[in-house]
Amino acid sequence: MKVAIIGTGYVGLTTGVCLAYIGHLVTCVDIDPAKLELLQRRKSPIHEPGLEELLGTVWNRIGFTSDTSASVADADVIMIAVGTPSKPTGQADNRYVEEAAREVAQGLQPGRNYVLVIKSTVPIGTNRRVVHVVDQVLASRGLKGEIMVRVASNPEFLSEGTALRNMFYPDRIVVGAEDPGSVEILRRLYRPILEQTFDPPPFLPRPEGYDLPPLITTDPVSAEMIKYAANAFLAMKISFINEIAGLCEKVGADVTEVARGIGLDPRIGPRFLEAGLGWGGSCFPKDTAALIAMGRELSYPLRLVEAAREVNTLQRERAVEKLQETLKGVRGRVIGVLGLAFKPGTDDVRESPSLDIIRLLLEREAHVRAHDPVAMANARKALRNAEVEFIEDPYELANGADALVLATAWPEYRQLDLRKLAKTMRTPVLLDGRNLLDPAEAREAGFIYLGVGRQ
Ligand code: UDX
């Protein structure tokens, strides 16, 4: 099938590359010339394991352009995957989705049938709105009734760092549409994934015991809601374990043991029960805020989601309080922060707990040093007006420091020589904000070890 994808961010690019891999002809559209220039040189603008390699593999089936009209004219499926940034009210801003829909509608050709898929995470009701926007443009072109455009919602569930795996081996594919015709076209589009008939990329073998993913077909409003509810639930799950972690500290329990003990109950499940500094990234903060704003708009407060956000903010504050207590104040202390990305496996620092903690420490007049294996450049940009010393070598970062904060669970931090780190510090305090290290080992190496929810 011929597919045009508007927006080559995380979602658009990953989707495009994977659809090309399973045999479709894909054109990715973006307005950012710098991004297009990179992509045309087969370089990925984002750090996502395997993406660049796969881009090279599918090069004869994928193209990149800024020309929406030309790309959509002969497409069978057009996907909108542009950003929906937060407004000051927390609502997701639909502006770019609408603009994209308008541009798409300008390029559609008479006598053809199209399925227009909304992949962006959009406020509930947006699919309806897009139908209206497209109709208006077609009417203004005098082509109403001559072009068939069916709008469908197809939310994505990609996690950064595992986006390709999530795309090739999804838990489910959700399609929300009013008419069975568009569902059938999307079923065809995803058939190689639904039936797992593609040859897996060599670096991404099919997971053992992986079952064929179900195609969930529903109405557009429910599909839009599925995306928000999934992210809000996961954010709540993490906040729940973080809240329990705080109580574990008060009573002397170990939250990692508690998580193991409750996670084995299949009704609860073991994942997303890692206590730490809380969640960040481009989805959970934005989507929970949008859901709350939607509730407010409809006089239906979402109390659990609100509480999840509060607990998440508190997690950062508690970490700084712990340092203050242990160091008897952080003013003038040298604090080394290990990890800037919002989670390991990505260079994304959006809403990163680490950056929040750095800002809190700077407010309290600590001197901050920072390190990350891949996210240093992005963190420099995000913290450009802040007084932070970026250091390439964790051992140099620890030298003379009063405390270390391990803020991102990068596997390489597990390999650090703790003895060597502790030895050069002024006071060997280690706040393990991700419970990454073995407390006994850290103590043996000479650290005053502070975990989250464990002793
Ligand atoms: C998330 C969803 O998982 C994905 O389905 C959705 O489409 C987009 O948002 P992502 O933001 O890439 O994906 O990251 P995810 O792996 O979900 O982690 C989010 C945050 O939660 C990270 O800051 C992570 O460190 C934190 N986290 C996760 C925890 O603190 N504890 C956990 O147990 C799991």
Q: Which amino acid is at 285?
A: P
CA of 25 to the centre of ligand 1 (A): 31
The CA–CA distances, whole Å, from 293 to 136, 146, 297, 302 equal 28, 38, 6, 9
Residue nearest to atom 9 of ligand 1 (CA): 283
- Residue 364 pLDDT: 98
The residues assigned a catalytic role are 283
Rounded to two decimals, what is the model's pTM? 0.96
Q: Quick check: helix, strand or coil at residue 422? A: helix
CA of 358 to the centre of ligand 1 (A): 20
- C-alpha span between 103 and 137 (Å, rounded): 9
Enter the tokens of residue 40.
């045309």
Domain extents for the chain? 2-218, 315-450
Tell which one of 164, 172, 283, 348 to mutate to probe ligand 1, the residue whose CB is within 8 A of the most ligand atoms.
283
Write out the CATH class of domain 315-450: alpha beta
Tell which one of 119, 162, 284 to mutate to probe ligand 1, the residue whose CB is within 8 A of the most ligand atoms.
284
- C-alpha span between 229 and 124 (Å, rounded): 11
Would you tell me which CATH number, out of the four given (3.40.50.720, 1.10.10.10, 3.40.50.11750, 3.40.50.300), belongs to the domain 2-218? 3.40.50.720
Residues with CB under 6 A from ligand 1: 156-160, 231, 234, 238, 272-274, 276, 278-281, 283-284, 342-343
Contact 247, 318 (CB under 8 A): no
CA of 283 to the centre of ligand 1 (A): 8
Contact 86, 92 (CB under 8 A): yes
Please choose, from the candidates 373, 437, 364, the residue with its C-alpha nearest in 3D space to the C-alpha of residue 406: 437
- CB count within 10 Å of CB 443 equals 16
- Per-residue pLDDT of the chain in tens (455 residues, 90 and over written 9): 999 999 999 999 999 999 999 999 999 999 999 999 999 999 999 888 999 999 999 999 999 999 999 999 999 999 999 999 999 999 999 999 999 999 999 999 999 999 999 999 999 999 999 999 999 999 999 999 999 999 999 999 999 999 999 999 999 999 999 999 999 999 999 999 999 999 999 999 999 999 999 999 999 999 999 999 999 999 999 999 999 999 999 999 999 999 999 999 999 999 999 999 999 999 999 999 999 999 999 999 999 999 999 999 999 999 999 999 999 999 999 999 999 999 998 899 999 999 999 999 999 999 999 999 999 999 999 999 899 999 999 999 999 999 999 999 999 999 999 999 999 999 999 999 999 999 999 999 999 999 999 98
Instruction: With both helix axes pointing from N to C terminus, report the angle between 284-297 and 220-251 in degrees, rounded to the nearest 10.
Output: 110
160 Cα nearest atom in ligand 1: 12
Q: Decide: residue 86, CB within 10 A, 0-12 exposed, 13-18 middle, 19+ buried.
A: middle
